[in-house]
Structure 1
Amino acid sequence: MRRILLAAAAALIAFPALAQDRTIRVISGFAAGGAGDLMARLIAEYVPPFMGARGVVENRTGANGLIGAEVVARSAPDGMTVLQCPMGSMTITPNLPGAALPIDPRTEMTGVANVALSTYALIVAARGPYQDMPALLAAARARPGALNYASAGVGSAQHLSVELLKARAGLNIIHAPYRGATPAVVDILGGRMDFMITNLGDVMRQIQGGELRVLAMGDDAGSPLFPDVRPVSAFVPGLQMAGWFGICGPRGMSEESLARWSDATRRALENPTFRERLLANGLTPMFEDTRTFNARIAADLQSWGEVIRAAGVRGD
């Protein structure tokens, strides 16, 4: 008995965090059921245990994810509250002229680690008139202004991805913004919208159920779930569309805290079950440490800013 107690005491000395009942909050800026919420729950499940803590998810929706970001930005920079940060919230929304933002993530947030790349797909209703990408492009060119596309909102990644497609392919297509991907998909299934570009995590259930058809993948890497679907660049040369889901924190986190989170994320992504769950939802595991992730954020801020200015998109 004495030997067991000594061993337990030694373990607590070696791993003091395990002796504490610590709870880390992972904030999601999006409603339950979408890809962002799923990503937050996977992060909360797999990453905090490597820091001797348990994770809980809190959904704080609004402002294209920035209501959730505000919660994190106003929290103590001790690593106990982080944001599941998608590309759109960190690099697109801050670029929108006229947008009333609760915070500026460029100055009030910092990247902690990247977790996964998000594969985009161009989807249509399976029972609709478009059987392949050439048919959709031909219809758009034959009837300028007649086709419409849905998005999760003005200035969302879904919106700007189609704006890229329109610019590169010389198309005139009407935008219909929705309050999130779910109602947009409902109207595609109902035949009220022609198509949408969105991340696979938002539409996997409908694709697997035969309700939606994938016409093209957003980037050349594609998805192992759809090996026979060609990338959109096969029809519009040079066009690439992909996103990412990472972990962000309030500005002012210590180097020690950032390193601890980065290491825990790397170790979590070595877990085969974590990787399999990401892949099953159209996400590609992609670890990037703090420095690399912040470099990606900076590059995407610049590139999406150029798209927004060229398309004349505003947030008001």
Structure 2
Amino acid sequence: MVLSKVTDRPIVIATRASRLAVWQAEHVQDLLRKTYPGLEVSLLKLSTRGDEILDRSLQKVGGKGLFIKELENALADGRADLAVHSLKDVPVVMPEGFTLACILPRAEPRDAWVSGKYASIEDLPAGAVVGTSSLRREAQIRRRRPDVVVKPLRGNLDTRLGKLDDGQFDAIILAAIGLQRLRLESRIRMILPVDLCLPAAGQGTLGIEVSAGREDMVDLLMPLACQRSTAVSIAERAVSRVLGGSCSVPLAAHATLQSEGGELIAADAGLDSITDAGILVRALVASPDGADVLESSVFGPVSQANQLGEQAARILLDDGAAQLLQEHLQDD
């Protein structure tokens, strides 16, 4: 691709300083360099409050927005042009002054079961300790195994694995993609099927944020965007938006592109497949103990991804999701 005016100067990518976050930013850096040969792209590594506060759960200290605020400050004051995020950490309602400019191809969206002793959740003995700080994961694990103990697990990926290895937990649950990106696939005992643990909205996907009005950056990122990933992400984030989704809510949303016959459309399918595809949206809301679970699923044209996500959420609301979520917030 021919260099344009926007690529005549170095581009700065803001990122968290964790090993996984840096991998993700370097991935975008490589994509930009391949798309625009000769382009200078550097990283601005920042520590966020979400990385620094490890003794309390996210829902008690401000939610997932803690992971992106410092990066947005760098965008606002001109230190950075782009910020790379795990899409599941990006608020479904973007803060004023910022926009989600690009969604990259989705990788593995499911969760991973990690344990040195037990191959699956079914193998756990009663009273075994499972580590996760995700209310979504906790609710679904306790739904299947109410006889196990779920305890908070914070820290970066290496810290979490270290706590497992130290014997603090019998098993932990992590996003599979994080392990895969850092070449730690050998730690995965199994990928949890979505029927057991429905993923979070945006899990496995990278989003790139820019300051509002930076049309030059939007144009720069256009070749990196993925229509398939954008469609499913729009649907998933619509579920979360209608239900007030955040890390303080036990909420899951997962969308897939499918043919009319119900066959899953491969990630590398041609763009013509999207035009004719349907999108299946699954949503779940639960109490943290997994005792009360509401689920919905809707299918329709991919062109209506946002409406289908909203519809899946409203089905849950009609079934009592608002009361379930309110009861959880009061208990919390």
Same fold (TM over 0.5): yes
Q: Using the alignment, how far apart are the partners of 1:45 and 1:71 within structure 2?
A: 24
| Counterpart Cα distance in 2 of 1:170 and 1:164 | 10
When the two chains are superposed, the root-mean-square deviation of aligned CA atoms in Å is 3.7
| Runs of at least 5 residues in structure 2 that lack an aligned partner in the other structure | 51-66, 252-285, 289-327
Of the three residues 254, 259, 264, the one matched with 2:219 is 259
Q: How does 1:8-27 map to 2 (within 5 A)?
A: 15-17=3-5, 20=8, 22-27=9-14
TM-fit CA distance, 1:55: 1.5
Residue 166 of structure 2 aligns with an amino acid whose one-letter code is G
Pairwise mapping of residues 1-316 of structure 1 onto structure 2 (< 5 A)?
Answer: 15-17=3-5, 20=8, 22-31=9-18, 33-34=19-20, 36-48=21-33, 50-51=35-36, 53-64=39-50, 65-76=67-78, 81-91=81-91, 105-119=94-108, 120-126=110-116, 128=117, 130-136=118-124, 139=125, 143=126, 146-151=127-132, 154=133, 159-166=134-141, 168-169=143-144, 171=146, 173-204=149-180, 205-208=183-186, 212-215=187-190, 217-218=191-192, 231-233=193-195, 236=196, 239-241=197-199, 243=203, 244-254=205-215, 257-263=217-223, 265-266=224-225, 287-288=229-230, 297-302=237-242, 304-305=245-246, 306-307=249-250, 310-311=287-288, 312=328
The alpha carbon displacement at 1:313 in A equals 7.1
C-alpha distance in 2 between matches for 1:286 and 1:198: 24
Higher helix share: 1
Query: Greater Rg, structure 1 or structure 2?
Result: 1
Q: Say how many residue pairs are matched.
A: 231
Question: Residue 223 of structure 1 corresponds to which residue in structure 2?
Answer: none
Q: Could you tell me which amino acid in structure 2 is paired with residue 124 of structure 1?
A: V
C-alpha spacing 1:149/1:286, structure 2 compared with 1 (3 Å)? farther
TM-score, length basis structure 1:
0.59
Q: Secondary structure at the match of 1:288?
A: helix
Cα 1:73–1:123 shift into 2, 3 Å: same
Q: Which residue is equivalent to 2:63?
A: none
Matched-pair identity in %: 11
Counterpart Cα distance in 2 of 1:27 and 1:258: 16
Tell me, in whole angstroms, the C-alpha distance in 2 between the residues paired with 1:258 and 1:246. 12
Structure 1 residues not aligned, in runs of 5+: 1-10, 95-103, 219-230, 270-284
TM-score, normalised relative to structure 2: 0.57
Whether the 8 Å CA contact 2:84–2:209 is kept in 1: the answer is yes
Higher relative contact order (CA 8 A, sep 6+): 1
Secondary structure at the aligned position of 1:203 is classed as helix
In 1, Cα distance between equivalents of 2:33 and 2:233: 19
> Cα offset for 1:193?
1.1
CA distance in 2, matches of 1:62, 1:115: 23
Most deviating of 294-303 and 52-61: 294-303
The alpha-carbon distance between structure 1 residues 53 and 293, as it changes in their structure 2 partners (threshold 3 A), is: farther
